[in-house]
Structure 1
Amino acid sequence: MEAGNVEALTVRVDLSAIRGNLAAVRALAGDRIVMACIKGNAYGHGLVPVARCLEAAGVPWLTLGSPGEALALREAGITTPILLFPTIAGFDLKRHVGAGITIGVQSAAEAAALAPQAAAPVSVFLKIDAGFGRVGAPLPVAASEAREIARLPSVTLAGLFTHLPFFSEESVAWVQERLKAFGEVAGTIQGDAGRRLVVQALASTGLASGLDAPSTNAVCPGSLLYGVQPTWTSASGQHIDVAGLRPALVEVTSIVGSLRTIAAGERFGPGGARSAARATRLGVMPLGFSNSILVRKPGQRVGIAGRSAPVLSVSLEHTVIDVTDATPIAEGATVHLLSRDGAVGPTLEDIARAQDRATVEILVALTGKAAYAYVS
């Protein structure tokens, strides 16, 4: 852990990997617009530094779902167009509209409510629910909602988008049928508008799978930009592997905050539930449920002094590991919670398997409760 850092976690991110992953995504996207998704603190990689990296690389759009994160980008000097996904109905977006942020809406009524908050025409994207059943104008009424938006005097309909996540080969036929239905509605709306709109339907998995998205001219990848392969397995057990991806998360580390030795046969742990089979050296890290999900339960492993050490217990702000086989070590020793290549600690995939979680869940849990360092 770096001198002067008082955080329990240090996260190191490789910005050159993000640039390389963007190049791989652009190759998949062809002539379609790449709208870079940076929601969830840029998937745990640090919102503003990642946004600056993508802006410098010429990404035409940044997308996210947090009103606070959208404003943070403008306050940090990011000038790239930003699409804010639909948020809570009635949320005060006056500052966002004033900052030139494009607002995702689900209806003409939502778009109309934005007009009094703006000194200039408001740019909106209409979110269409193509079958996911979560957010957006239902397909049967989407065209009429778009026509109503077009009639609003202080609102400009700039684009359309939908979201159809899927995780297995068995879902592909349904997703492809829904994409076709979305494309038909999008084509109608574009015809009514008499001009070219930004139309997006594919995210990371759909893009990597090579699905056809009629009437669209944009893609909105998220996890691919950070070097995470799609969570998708075919019936035959095959995985999608996108060429050219490299994980941008180099490592996550903590420290041994204190050390103690438990004698053989001594009981310890919550309720004295454990008994030391041998003289055991315990290391205590200053992190727990309150600031990390990288270690969540006993049995996971971390790296220390070139050895693998098991996690014995996790509480609100402390994690106890068995460092007996890693001695001699001192307080302040670095603990590798995550390692990109697995050389000094578990990989992201190792952690996801140990916790039975998706890799993206692990990433987005990396929030402001960490010190970030960036390398290129």
Structure 2
Amino acid sequence: MTAPGETITGVTDPYYPAQAVVDLAAIRSNIARLVDTAAGAAVMAVVKADGYGHGLVPSARAALAGGATWLGVAQPAEALALRAAGVDARLLTWLTAPDAPLADLVAAGVDVSVASLPVLDAVVRAAGERGRPARVHLEVETGLGRNGMSYDELPWALARIAAQVREGALELEGLWSHLACADDPAHPSVRAQRDAFDEAVRLAERAGCPPRLRHLANSAATLTEPRLHYDLVRPGLAVFGLSPVPAIASAAELGLRPAMRLEARLATVKTLPAGHGVSYGHAYATAQRTKVGIVPLGYADGVPRHASGGDAGPGGPVRVGEGARARTLRIAGRVCMDQVVVDLGPDALEQAGDTVVLFGDGHDGGPTAQDWADAAGTISYEITTRLGSRVPRRYLGEDA
């Protein structure tokens, strides 16, 4: 049973013992904060990887409701899924190979990123096949060393684009690049990439095909470096309320609200004697006679195995119980495929069916996705995006 304004996707078995609760109002609020920070630059909400694990279509709609005017995805299939769901906002997809469904993207009015000469040629062919111009964004290699048109190829690409623009086959909607060290604003590569990007824009202008939009800033640069805002910014992680610069500022300090809460219910509470091994390999042993709780979430659901607790250090944090009885404990022993164990202590009052929160917005002192990232030695991006598809997503505030 769902309340007004709620929907559930994923596993629909009412007995599934876990869920990810996604607050769409938080996404709308985060976008409003980013629009204000962008100070005149348009905001492209990046909703790739199933909305960073939050759900592609609901996240996209919430971002648009919050004030985003563009959406960004990595894969062509994500762009086409948004169109199939009736999302008609301006939309860019950027991880395209020559054999991508480019004709379908052109027909659907999706902007396509071009990062190589073979892709450029393929987009021109797709535009001819569909009989309409393709809107392209030229991605330039400015120092990340990943995707993007190299400077050796750039003159040839710009000449080709300029010719196709004159013939009406292409529209150069944007020129863009991606930062390598935006989470460290003082890193010298940030300025070097900005300078390289500016030079690429000048080359495009001299070639007779100035881009309508210049965009370079991801979440970190949007929040920390106004000089990189240009005409459009591309926040991703920040849309979902997590800090892209945790060493500098927390989500709360940045004015962001985490949108996801991952919770489960204790499947079992049992007593173990002192010195009893817990979970595979017995990396953790009970220090005394104690009660342990079984949480029905594991690495098949996205719980990182690197956040196991035992000889290597404390495990990932969980908030057990509700209200005044709530307390934060740590995973005991290795994370299993479908479950983890929590040492509740000898005097525990918890029972099977009690709520356990793995991460949320932290307002009650409970753990956050960043806390799990710290425990697993990774980044908060990975914590939400790796969440398994069998975990139902429950959406709050969708009626807005």
What is the TM-score with the length of structure 2 in the denominator? 0.82
Distance across 2 between alignment mates of 1:37 and 1:271: 41
Asked if structure 1 preserves the Cα contact closer than 8 Å seen for 2:290 and 2:347, the reply is no
Q: 1:89–1:6: structure 2 CA closer, same or farther, 3 Å change rule?
A: farther
Matched, 1:311 2:326: no
Q: Distance in 2 between matches of 1:58 and 1:21?
A: 10
Looking at structure 1, the residues matched to 267 and 242 of structure 2 have their Cα atoms a distance apart, in angstroms, of 31
Q: Tell me, yes or no, if structure 1 residue 249 matches structure 2 residue 259.
A: yes
- SS of match in other structure, 1:369: coil
Task: Say whether residues 1:297 and 2:308 are aligned partners.
Answer: yes
**2:372 maps to 1:362:** no
Once the two structures are superposed, residues 44-91 of structure 1 have per-residue CA deviations (whole angstroms, 9 ceiling, x without a partner) of 222111101122344221011122222221111110121001334433
Unaligned regions of 5+ residues in structure 2, if any? 3-11
Does the CA-based 8 Å contact 1:183-1:213 persist in structure 2? Answer: no
Aligned to 1:31: 40
Find the aligned partners of 1:358 and 1:261 in 2 and give their Cα distance.
35
1:36 aligned counterpart, secondary structure: strand
Say whether the 8 Å CA contact 1:190–1:197 is kept in structure 2.
Answer: no
Question: 1:230 is matched with which residue: 244, 248, 267?
Answer: 244
Aligned residue for 1:290, secondary structure, equals helix
Contact 1:169–1:232 (8 Å) recurs in 2: no
Shift of 1:135: 0.5
- Contact preservation (8 Å) 1:200, 1:218: yes
Range that drifts further, 86-95 or 120-129: 86-95
Counterpart of 1:331 (choices 342, 352, 355) is: 352
Deviation readout 1:225-284 (Å, 9 max, x if unpaired): 222233264xxxx54888662223252101222333223454553355654433322222
Task: Output aligned runs, 1:165-314, within 5 Å.
Answer: 165-166=180-181, 167-171=183-187, 173-193=188-208, 197-213=212-228, 216-231=230-245, 233=247, 239=249, 245-271=255-281, 275-293=285-303, 296-298=307-309, 299-300=314-315, 301-305=317-321, 306-313=326-333, 314=335
Q: Whole-Å Cα distance in 2 between the matches of residues 160 and 188 of structure 1?
A: 11
| Alignment TM-score, normalising by the size of structure 1 | 0.87
For the Cα contact (< 8 Å) 2:17–2:296, is it kept in 1?
A: yes
The equivalent residue for 2:114 is: 105
After TM superposition, the structure 1 stretch with the greater mean CA deviation from structure 2, 261-270 or 337-346, is 261-270
Residue type at the aligned position of 1:31: G
Structure 1 outlier segments of 4+, above 4 Å:
1-4, 238-244, 265-268, 271-275
8 Å Cα contact 1:257/1:286 also seen in 2 = yes
1:4 deviation in Å?
Answer: 4.7
Distance 1:27 1:158, change over 3 A: same
* 1:70-116 deviation digits (Å, cap 9, x = unpaired): 22211111101210013344333333333221111113431221344
SS of aligned partner of 2:389 = coil
Give the residue type in structure 2 aligned to 1:357. T
Q: CA deviation at 1:294?
A: 5.5
- CA–CA distance in structure 2, aligned partners of residues 242 and 143 of structure 1: 45
Secondary structure class of the residue paired with 1:303: strand
Contact 1:9 1:369 (8 Å CA) reproduced: no
- Range moving further from structure 2, 56-65 or 139-148: 139-148
Between 1:202-211 and 1:242-251, the stretch displaced more is: 242-251
Letter in structure 1 aligned against 2:175? L
Which residue of structure 2 aligns with residue 351 of structure 1? 372
Say which SS state the counterpart of residue 48 (structure 1) adopts.
helix
Q: Percent identity?
A: 27
For 2:146, the equivalent position in structure 1 comes to 134
SS of the counterpart of 2:332?
strand
Distance in 2, Cα, partners of 1:266 & 1:28: 53
Question: Deviation string for 1:301-343 (max 9, x for gaps)?
Answer: 3111212333123112221222335733332222111131252
Q: Judging changes above 3 Å, is the alpha-carbon distance between structure 1 residues 268 and 162 closer, same or farther for their aligned structure 2 residues?
A: closer
Kept after mapping to 1: 8 A contact 2:27/2:66? no
2:138–2:174 CA contact under 8 A, matched in 1: yes
Cα offset for 1:18?
1.9
CA contact (8 A) 1:208 1:242 kept: no
Give the whole-Å Cα distance in 2 for the aligned partners of 1:325 and 1:349: 29
Alignment of 1:22-171 (within 5 A): 22-117=31-126, 118-119=129-130, 120-152=132-164, 153=167, 154-166=169-181, 167-171=183-187
Question: Separation in 2 of the partners of 1:371 and 1:129?
Answer: 39
- How many equivalent residue pairs? 370
Q: Which runs of no fewer than 5 residues in structure 1 stay unpaired?
A: none
Which has the higher mean CA deviation after the structures are superposed, 238-247 or 279-288? 238-247
| Residue 50 to residue 164, structure 1, CA distance change in 2 (3 Å) | same
Amino acid at match of 1:337: L
**Distance of aligned partners of 1:281 and 1:60 in 2 relative to their CA distance in 1, 3 Å threshold:** same
CA–CA distance in structure 2, aligned partners of residues 272 and 244 of structure 1: 41
Of 15, 18, 21, 2:24 maps to 15
Paired with 2:68 and 2:42, the residues of 1 have a C-alpha distance of: 9
